[in-house]
Amino acid sequence: MKELITRTITAVVLLSLLLLLTLKAPPPVFFGVLQVAIALALWELLRMVNLPLGDKVLIFLFGALISLHFYMPTLSLDILTYLFLMTTGLFLLRTTDKEGLSQFPFRFSMVFFAPFYIVFTLNFLFYVWRAGALHLLFLVALISIGDTAAYFVGSLIGKHKIYPVASPKKSLEGFLAAVAASLVFALIAQKTFYASCPPLFVYLSALLLSLVTQVSDPVESLFKRAKGVKDSSALLPGQGGIFDRLDSYIFGAPLFYLLIRYFLLPV
């Protein structure tokens, strides 16, 4: 009971801050706060993998360049990636000795995987917000409602496990509850605060996001299972870490922005 109260208080505080930030913050402030959250999520991921300090510095540097691309699109991401690829190769050539040679493929891969997995994907939240504050609120509400439905239905009647290794508590019953709850919420949203958006866009977004986020979460869980920890950190009382709270948006935010671009934004 105490854990549930703590979890609820943290959720209310986070929701209040999110509403204030989403509705009132100017772009530089919103982007800056988002970068802090992304950096913390990236730090929590790197805590769960064994990498030298120099590699972690490279990862944060590449992450910063990716973020700059989202704030200043004139900075070409393909050129930045190529230049960083060359820099990383030169760095690892100088720092890899024979004893650590077996770790080279893992280290080289992580330097590029981690920034794209965390920084590239989560920065699409900035694009979603910039397209309209209501889009971000819809996304957050949809994911929260779907996760809540999956948790309670799965806890009560969940019997058929779908990710026995990654997320043993996730069940087919919970998965279907998340999809159903997301569609019901989309129906309500389209009739109320989200009425300006085409029904097809709203319902298709709800369906696809409810499916994708049920994959995004277990992928994050695999890192925790490999490390043998329950949460990515204890930063948020009762809620785990920032990585735990943002895991559904890793696959969800880019997809939702693509739907916004296809259905709503002028070509």
55: exposed, middle or buried (Cβ count in 10 Å: 0-12, 13-18, 19+): buried
Average pLDDT over the chain, rounded to whole?
88
Q: Which residue matches tokens 């977004």?
A: 205
Most confident of 4-13, 62-71, 156-165: 62-71
pLDDT number for residue 1: 62
pLDDT in tens, 116-159: 999 999 999 999 999 999 999 999 999 999 988 888 887 788 67
Choice between 227 and 2, residue whose per-residue pLDDT is larger:
227
User: If residue 170 lies in a helix (H) or strand (E), which one and from where to where?
Assistant: strand 167-171
Choice between 10 and 185, residue whose per-residue pLDDT is larger:
185
Q: Which of these, 85, 202, 44, 67, lies nearest to 121 by C-alpha position?
A: 67
Q: How far is the C-alpha of 127 from the C-alpha of 198, rounded, in Å?
A: 19
pLDDT number for residue 7: 72
Q: Which residue matches tokens 């559904």?
A: 248
- Percent of the chain scoring above 70 in pLDDT: 95
Q: What is the pTM of this model?
A: 0.93
pLDDT number for residue 194: 94
Torsion of CA 152, 155, 160, 161, to 10 degrees: 100
